[in-house]
Homo-oligomer: A and B are copies of this chain.
């Protein structure tokens, strides 16, 4: 099982709306994540907009791909895109780069 951490940047003037949207993530989006192998998945949001994701999955590249090909993810990411700072024009899920692990204790 891989432990993955990634960081994204939410626009500071949209933090409250971002939080609100994540209180009611679509059930079909939650189910798609599960099916794609996203386990023990948590998002943390710092006051300055730094979004930190933590997820456990057998293979993160595969988990990203399995989501990317779903229709519900396309709809969700389209709605989320404007919440994020992005120079690249990429969607949030296309910017999830793993941060290196330096220590682990079970």
Contacts and interface: CB of A to CB of B under 8 A. Distances in A.
Closest 7 CB pairs of A and B: A43-B103, A5-B44, A44-B99, A22-B103, A41-B105, A45-B102, A22-B102
Stoichiometry (number of copies)? 2
A68 interface: no
A71 interface: no
Interface of A: 3, 5, 7, 18-19, 22-23, 25, 30, 33-34, 38-46, 50-52, 54, 99-106
A105 B34 contact: yes
Contact of A46 (B3, B7, B34, B42): B7
Contact of A42 (B3, B23, B25, B43): B3
